[in-house]
Amino acid sequence: MKIPIDIKTGSVKKETETKDIIVGIDLGTTNSLVAIIEDGIPSVIKDESGSEVLMPSVLFFNDDGKIITGLEAKKQLIDHPARTIKSVKRLMGKSYADVKDFTTGTAYEIIDSGTDQLVKIKMDDNFYTPVELSAEILKSLKSRAEKYIGSKISRAVITVPAYFNDTQRQATRDAGKLAGLDVLRIINEPTAASLAYGIGLNMDQNEIVAVYDLGGGTFDISVLHIENGIFEVLSTQGDTDLGGDDIDNDILQHWVSKNKGLSEKIVDFSLYGKLLFMAEEAKIHLSHHDLYAATLTIDFQLTLTKAEFYIICKKWVDKTIKACESAIRDAKISVKDIHKVILVGGSTRNPYVKQRLTEFFGMTPHDEMNPDEAVALGAAIQADILAGNRKDMLLLDVAPLSLGIETVGGLMDVIIPRNSKIPHKAGRQYTTSVDGQKNLKISVFQGERDLVVNNRKLGEFILKDIPPMPAGLPKIDIHFLIDADGILTVKAKELRSDTEARIEINASFGISEEKMAEMLLDSIQHAKEDADQKALIESTVEAQNVLLATDKFLIQNQDIMTETESEKIRELKSLVENAIEQKNKNLIESGLKNLNDFAAPIAQRSMDSLISFSLKGKSLENTSDQKS
Ligand code: ADP
Ligand code: MG
């Protein structure tokens, strides 16, 4: 089979595909949307009923273990909060340490492995990663679009907040792949919103634009400079814990303080949930009316006036304006340098928000589009550009396949994602997995599969003479640079000792376009099995680290433990060992959780500061043969 590949976009052109449609997806914290270009006009795709544009980013696990997404899932928040997951985007690419502060309010269980490992969510006996959960949302959007278009969709552009780091962006790509989508590009939400307003489509434009995005649970303001169709983020500020949800909560509190006896009533979880729904309803109602009045139960008639509502909003909007001030400062401009202000996010429908922003920026912000649709529409425009449908737009050279290195367990760690514009540089830090490790082998691969065996090896080199240190302590910076001719330079440097090594590779040498296309297709077709294998390897590696740490722990804390306690730890340890042997991911995870739960209080009791119950950071494959 000969598969043509589009080198500019790095995408596969399947000959069987009748319509060459690439969708644009806004994978939001609260709501997600999918959009396409139809007859040259961007439009969002509605659900099957033909009424809803937004798909709540909510997942519900029913008793049969089936995952339900969207509006149906959102409704379950009232009666089954512990089986319903919202705002999974907050967890993308995050370790438990990162999310500690905002997980107190969630009814579902987030697993604290006590390490730098990425978070997982426990539901029944299964452990899910945020990537898997986001993939479910993407699958629903994909199928919504397929039903509408009447043919399969395989390619997408997905948006992320401007402040998303490399790991969070990669997690979003992985979610797309798992949903069966070839993610052609990840673009910033404010960039997408600007595109939706036609900004950046004209090559002669030179403008500074402020994009104010107030969603359900997050706020961000980005200042962009757009010149010759190139978007540069001058600054971005925000609060990942500020949004429409806070206003809902305050409305609820307002009612509780105004209505005697209500606070005792709402200890009932489902009544509380209902009240919260009404608070959101009141907020939305007051965008167009002056009074909200409704019945909670026969005892409680609730009202909210516009004046009361604005008082509630003030405190939150004040905060966002402070952030705007500092974004402008960071961008080293002043308010009057801004040419346009764009409103994004459902919460900017609130007239109070518009009023305050008009005052602050000294101009009327753009709100001609639905603020909750602008990002998805812009993603669709970007998709259309990539599809080559806009002949006037210039396409930049890109890296056609991802470039990365092998980490412990034979996993591919992508450093330069496919479709990155070239020249491009990127880097990440790693550490060792064995005490006293002196040499480190760095193997460089190209491809989209999760296991390096399925990718193409470009070369390897050894970082020699690292001074002996305990595992996990060395800081090894690995830096990739791909120049305009496709020449890749990989540098490795141990930062504590300044030890350094490098390699230069011609990344496009000896690979045909057909082969690249085949590799891409394979990665989509094997996405599920790859992800499962990867998850098993990651759990196994983590478990092996914990087992090693447990052995040290048992020795170091002999004196402060009773015989029963150490016996129990050994028993829990052997359960983990069995689970590893059985290659059962969920069993490993629950074994680790039990071991951790049991050992944590003992660790607290011990004065020994050496207890790091597991190794920190991603480590590279141990090259025991290289040790000297
Ligand atoms: P996200 O980007 O976080 O996924 P959205 O942009 O979809 O979120 O915004 C969702 C938020 O917008 C919710 O808090 C919702 O209550 C709020 N919202 C929607 N419509 C209105 C309205 N008319 N007035 C005020 N808030 C609104
Ligand atoms: Mg959004």
For residues 51 and 63, state if they share a domain. Answer: yes
Distance of alpha carbon 321 from its chain centroid, rounded? 26
pLDDT digits (tens, 9 = 90+) for 195-233: 999 998 887 889 999 999 999 989 999 999 998 888 889
Query: What residues contact 45, with CB distance under 8 A and at least 6 apart?
Result: 33, 34, 35, 36, 53, 144, 145, 148
pLDDT of residue 102: 56
For residues 480 and 552, state if they share a domain. Answer: no
pLDDT digits (tens, 9 = 90+) for 401-429: 899 999 989 999 999 998 888 888 999 99
The DSSP annotation for 412-428 comes to EEEEE-TT-BSSEEEEE
For residues 326 and 425, state if they share a domain. Answer: no
SS3 480: strand
pLDDT digits (tens, 9 = 90+) for 614-626: 434 466 654 433 3
299 catalytic per annotation: no
Query: What residues contact 255, with CB distance under 8 A and at least 6 apart?
Result: 262, 275, 279, 302, 304
The amino acid present at 242, given as its one-letter code, is: L
Ligand 1, residues 134, 283, 375: which to mutate, most atoms within 8 A of Cβ?
A: 283
Residue 227, CA distances (Å) to 380, 462, 532 in order: 21, 43, 43
Rounded-to-integer distance, Cα 220 and Cα 405, Å = 33
pLDDT for residue 396 is more than 70 = no
- What domain count does the chain have? 4
For residues 50 and 85, state if they share a domain. Answer: yes
Name the catalytic one among 189, 239, 248, 372: 189
Helices (H) and strands (E) in the chain, counts: 15, 28
For residues 437 and 508, state if they share a domain. Answer: yes
Cis amide linkage into residue 423, ω under 30° from 0: yes
For residues 500 and 560, state if they share a domain. Answer: no
CATH classification of the domain holding 476: 2.60.34.10
For residues 81 and 203, state if they share a domain. Answer: no
The DSSP annotation for 259-289 comes to STTHHHHTTSHHHHHHHHHHHHHHHHHTTT-
Cβ contact 441:431 at 8 Å:
no
Ligand 1 and 350: CB distance under 6 A: yes
Instruction: Tell me whether strands 424-430 and 476-482 are parallel, antiparallel or unpaired.
Output: antiparallel
- Share above pLDDT 70 across residues of the chain, in percent, rounded to a whole number: 89
Residue 417 zone, left/alpha/beta (φ > 0; ψ -120 to 50; rest): beta
pLDDT for residue 114 is more than 70 = no
The DSSP annotation for 567-612 comes to HHHHHHHHHHHHHHHTT-HHHHHHHHHHHHHHHHHHHHH---TT--
Both tokens of 592, joined, read 């680790």
Residue 261 zone, left/alpha/beta (φ > 0; ψ -120 to 50; rest): left
89 is a domain residue: yes
Both tokens of 429, joined, read 């830090």
| Domain boundary, last residue among 193, 225, 245 | 193
Whose C-alpha lies nearest to ligand 1, atom 20?
A: 346
Ligand 1, residues 163, 372, 375, 377: which to mutate, most atoms within 8 A of Cβ?
A: 372
**Highest mean pLDDT, choosing among 177-191, 225-239, 432-446:** 177-191
For residues 164 and 208, state if they share a domain. Answer: no
CATH classification of the domain holding 95: 3.30.420.40
pLDDT for residue 103 is more than 60 = no
386 is a domain residue: no
CATH classification of the domain holding 547: 1.20.1270.10
Residue 301, CA distances (Å) to 308, 310, 427 in order: 16, 21, 58
394 is a domain residue: no
Looking at ligand 1, which atom is closest to the CA of residue 244? 14
pLDDT band at 115 (very low <50, low <70, confident <90, very high): low
Rounded-to-integer distance, Cα 507 and Cα 488, Å = 6
Distance of alpha carbon 113 from its chain centroid, rounded? 19
Query: What residues contact 588, with CB distance under 8 A and at least 6 apart?
Result: 536, 539, 540, 543, 576, 579, 580
24 is a domain residue: yes
Bridge partners, 297 (sequence order): 300
Cβ contact 152:146 at 8 Å:
yes
Q: Which ligand has an atom closest to residue 58 CA?
A: 1
Task: Order the strands of the 126-128 sheet from edge to edge.
Answer: 109-111, 120-123, 126-128
pLDDT digits (tens, 9 = 90+) for 535-586: 999 999 989 988 988 998 888 888 888 999 999 999 999 999 999 999 999 9
pLDDT band at 609 (very low <50, low <70, confident <90, very high): very low
Give the predicted TM-score (pTM) of the model: 0.78
Give the structural domain span for 76: 15-193
Phi and psi angles of residue 556, each rounded to the nearest 5 degrees, phi first: -65, -25
Residue 453 is classified by DSSP as G
pLDDT digits (tens, 9 = 90+) for 38-95: 988 999 999 999 999 999 999 999 988 899 999 999 999 888 888 999 989 988 888 7
Rounded-to-integer distance, Cα 119 and Cα 127, Å = 10
Query: What residues contact 529, with CB distance under 8 A and at least 6 apart?
Result: none
| Domain boundary, last residue among 144, 164, 193 | 193
Kindly report which listed range (18-27, 181-190, 419-428, 608-617) carries the lowest average pLDDT score: 608-617
pLDDT of residue 139: 97
Phi and psi angles of residue 36, each rounded to the nearest 5 degrees, phi first: -140, 170
For residues 251 and 305, state if they share a domain. Answer: yes
pLDDT band at 18 (very low <50, low <70, confident <90, very high): very low
389 is a domain residue: no
The DSSP annotation for 343-400 comes to EESGGGGSHHHHHHHHHHHTSPPB-SS-TTTHHHHHHHHHHHHHTT--TTSPPPPB-S
Ligand 1 and 215: CB distance under 6 A: yes
Ligand 1 and 617: CB distance under 6 A: no
Ligand 1 and 372: CB distance under 6 A: yes
SS3 142: helix
pLDDT of residue 627: 31
pLDDT digits (tens, 9 = 90+) for 517-540: 888 889 988 999 999 999 999 999
For residues 157 and 229, state if they share a domain. Answer: no
463 is a domain residue: yes
Q: Which ligand has an atom closest to residue 90 CA?
A: 1
63 catalytic per annotation: no
| Domain boundary, last residue among 368, 395, 430 | 368
Q: Which ligand has an atom closest to residue 289 CA?
A: 1
For residues 264 and 357, state if they share a domain. Answer: yes
Q: What is the average per-residue pLDDT within 262-268?
A: 85
Cβ contact 167:174 at 8 Å:
no
Name the catalytic one among 26, 245, 250, 448: 26
Phi and psi angles of residue 324, each rounded to the nearest 5 degrees, phi first: -60, -45
Ligand 1, residues 30, 54, 71, 172: which to mutate, most atoms within 8 A of Cβ?
A: 30
- Of 94, 95, 91, the residue nearest 108 (C-alpha): 91
Rounded-to-integer distance, Cα 58 and Cα 614, Å = 32
Q: How many Å lie between the centroid of ligand 2 and the Cα of residue 524? A: 27
188 is a domain residue: yes
4 is a domain residue: no
C-alpha Rg value of the chain to the nearest Å: 26
- Of 628, 627, 624, 621, the residue nearest 460 (C-alpha): 621
Ligand 1 and 244: CB distance under 6 A: yes
- Of 102, 139, 136, 141, the residue nearest 119 (C-alpha): 102
Better-predicted residue by pLDDT, 320 or 627: 320
pLDDT for residue 338 is more than 80 = yes
**Highest mean pLDDT, choosing among 10-14, 97-101, 185-189:** 185-189
268 catalytic per annotation: no
Whose C-alpha lies nearest to ligand 1, atom 8?
A: 215
Longest dimension (CA), the chain: 79
pLDDT of residue 387: 86
The DSSP annotation for 21-63 comes to --EEEEE-SSEEEEEEEETTEEEEPP-TTS----EE-EEEE-T
pLDDT band at 9 (very low <50, low <70, confident <90, very high): low
For helices 374-386 and 189-196, angle between their N-to-C axes, nearest 10 degrees: 80
For residues 269 and 358, state if they share a domain. Answer: yes
Both tokens of 233, joined, read 């983020």
Instruction: Name the helix (H) or strand (E) containing 443.
Output: strand 440-446
Phi and psi angles of residue 386, each rounded to the nearest 5 degrees, phi first: -65, -30
Looking at ligand 1, which atom is closest to the CA of residue 344? 6
Q: How many Å lie between the centroid of ligand 1 and the Cα of residue 188? A: 19
Ligand 2 (single-atom ion) residues, CB below 5 Å: 28, 215
Q: How many Å lie between the centroid of ligand 2 and the Cα of residue 188? A: 11
